[in-house]
Amino acid sequence: GQQVMQIPQYQHVQEGEDFTTYCNSSTTLSNIQWYKQRPGGHPVFLIQLVKSGEVKKQKRLTFQFGEAKKNSSLHITATQTTDVGTYFCAGEQGSSNTGKLIFGQGTTLQVKP
Amino acid sequence: GAVVSQHPSRVICKSGTSVKIECRSLDFQATTMFWYRQFPKQSLMLMATSNEGSKATYEQGVEKDKFLINHASLTLSTLTVTSAHPEDSSFYICSAGAHSSTEAFFGQGTRLTVV
């Protein structure tokens, strides 16, 4: 079945440093979504990427979708303590938008003030 | 944004009993809802797709007789963990999508502890 791999599993950074998490799917995705989950909370939608090679920015966050639509990355510039949490990528397989998401393992970010 | 409400947020039950978890879309209709399970410090594992008015679709390895799903209306899906055992203890979370968006809106999750 479809698998979505995400690395690294954990990342500890000093406040102000950059952070990147990578996501790779075994199959082509119709779209990829990114979510953030704070400790004890539920996943919150960040963004969706649909087009091959798409790049989207949200303030200090930059999201990329690979040309083959099988990989993606999230880059945070100059991390802040509010960025702490687990970041999940989630892919939707194939060409149809069914809403059925397969989640990566998540990357837990810790930021030292 | 759209709101999905999940209840209860926490539940402790005895082994052998059943527990029902509700997932409601408060301001939109959801023909499809999804149920996930999340173990501590792990990812969300899709358990099943809940379809309004029809049988749920279960992922491989998920026992449909143990995890009963009912999606009786366009705003409510329920997950019943039957004959619960300690290994069923986990964080269960539902999601739904509005027709106008492919974004998934998650409920707050239910932390189930079976003692």
By three-state DSSP, how is residue B54 classified? coil
Indicate the pLDDT class of residue B28, thresholds 50, 70 and 90.
confident
* Closest to B72 in 3D by CA, of B110, B18, B33: B33
Name which of A87-96, B3-12, B63-72 the model is least confident about. A87-96
Q: Does A91 touch chain B (CB under 8 A)?
A: no
- State residue B32's pLDDT score: 87
The tokens for A10 are: 């954990």
Tell me the average pLDDT of chain B. Answer: 90
Chain B positions touching A100 (Cβ under 8 A) are 34, 46, 49
Indicate the pLDDT class of residue B14, thresholds 50, 70 and 90.
very high
- State residue B1's pLDDT score: 63
Chain B positions touching A35 (Cβ under 8 A) are 106
- State residue A7's pLDDT score: 96
Residue B54 Cα, gap to closest chain A Cα (Å): 16
Q: Are A5 and A60 in contact (CB under 8 A)?
A: no
Asked whether residue B105 carries a pLDDT value surpassing 90, the answer given is no
Mean pLDDT of B34-57: 90
Task: For residue range B70-87, list pLDDT tens digits in order.
Answer: 998 889 999 999 999 999
| A42 vs B42, B102, B106: nearest CB | B106
Q: Does A32 touch chain B (CB under 8 A)?
A: no
Residues 56-115 of B with CB under 8 A from A: 60, 93, 95, 97, 102-109
Asked whether residue B27 carries a pLDDT value surpassing 90, the answer given is no
Contact B43 A33 (CB under 8 A): no
**pLDDT tens by residue, chain A, 113 residues:** 668 999 999 999 999 999 999 999 999 998 999 999 998 888 999 999 999 999 999 999 999 999 999 999 999 999 999 999 999 999 987 655 667 888 999 999 999 99
- State residue A96's pLDDT score: 56
The DSSP bridge pattern shows strands A10-14 and A107-112 to be parallel
Asked whether residue B21 carries a pLDDT value surpassing 60, the answer given is yes
- Distance, in Å, from the CA atom of A73 to the CA atom of A62, rounded to the nearest integer, reads 8
3-state SS string over chain A?
CCCEEEECCEEEEECCCCEEEEEEECCCEEEEEEEEECCCCCCEEEEEECCCCCEEEECCEEEEECCCCCEEEEEECCCCHHHCEEEEEEEEECCCCCCCCEECCCEEEEEEC
- State residue A100's pLDDT score: 80
| B102 vs A31, A41, A105: nearest CB | A31
Backbone angles phi, psi at A94, to 5 degrees: 75, -155
